[in-house]
Amino acid sequence: MLAAATNLQAEVSVSTHISTIGPGIELGYKLSPAFGVRAGWQKFATDFDFKPEDENGVPGDELHYQGDLNLENGSLLADWYPYKGRFRLTAGVLLNNSGTRLKTNCQTNTGGAPLANSCEIGGASAPGSDIGELRIAIDFEASIAPYIGIGWAFQRNQQWYFNADLGIAYLGAADVDIQSSGSCNDTSACRAQLDDEERELEKDMESLELFPVAKLGIGYRF
């Protein structure tokens, strides 16, 4: 009975890792030599700068967005070890709560006062006095993001181990919302330009729909 209890405890593990979706921690349980489950949490914040492509042929009048990229998500993963060894196939979900908050005003390369310039919004120029300050929220439609990947667990001794994961998470299309502190929100023509700018940014973010996930960690088995 004591041996059985020891074997049960040995199936529980805890690990810490760094990854492309932020550093985090993970709790694992090995159901059998061939199957296991993991639950994790990752969080990371960094500065984020973004400049769309020139759409109106006027160089230097593009908006320059600056703000914060906040990566925050949980993970629920199931592992299959087809050879009952180091290599595993993984499927699961990311509980995605990541997003970006940006702001900008109408500045050009002339170095003039922001509200005195005009800048490109939605492929056309608009006065800085109408735009004021723009606040942009970018989120992704998949709050529960499917994930598939492969991984390896390298045993150092009976307790300590290293692991690695490579996979893809489907975040879905980006959802961009732009609000102006100027008169743009209340002027139909200018609001239409903001709507076009939202669609341009969503198109620029299409490459992130399938997000690569790489992870390296170290863990301990109890």
The whole-number pLDDT of residue 205 equals 84
The per-residue pLDDT for 2 is 35
User: What would the mean pLDDT of 99-113 be, rounded to a whole number?
Assistant: 68
Give the pLDDT confidence score for residue 59 in this predicted structure: 67
Question: So what's the pLDDT on residue 200?
Answer: 86
Taking residues 107-126, report their average pLDDT: 64
Least confident of 62-66, 106-110, 150-154: 106-110
Give the residue, 67 or 38, on which the prediction is more confident.
38
By the 8 A CB rule, do 109 and 60 touch?
yes
Between 105 and 165, whose confidence is greater?
A: 165
Q: Which residue segments constitute the domains of the chain, with CATH numbers given?
A: 2-221 (2.40.160)
Residue 149 pLDDT greater than 90, yes or no: yes
- pLDDT for 133 equals 87
Mean pLDDT, the chain, rounded, equals 85
Summarize pLDDT for 39-94 with one digit per residue, the tens: 999 998 888 787 777 666 666 677 888 888 888 999 999 999 999 989 999 999 99
Query: How would you write the chain as a 3-class SS string?
Result: CHHHHHHHHCCEEEEEEEECCCCEEEEEEECCCCEEEEEEEEEEEEEEEECCCCCCCCCCCECCEEEEEEEEEEEEEEEECCCCCCEEEEEEEEEECCEEEEEEECCCCCCCCHHHCEEEECCEEEEHHHHCEEEEEEEECCCEEEEEEEEEEEECCCCEEEEEEEEEEECCCEEEEEEECCCHHHCHHHHHHHHHHHHHHHHHCHHHCEEEEEEEEEEEEC
Percentage of the chain exceeding pLDDT 70: 87
Q: Using one digit for the tens of pLDDT, what is the confidence trace for 184-222?
A: 888 888 899 899 989 988 888 888 899 999 999 999 988
pLDDT at 161: 92
* Over residues 22-49, mean pLDDT: 92
Taking only the tens place, the pLDDT of each residue in 156-174 is: 778 899 999 999 999 999 8
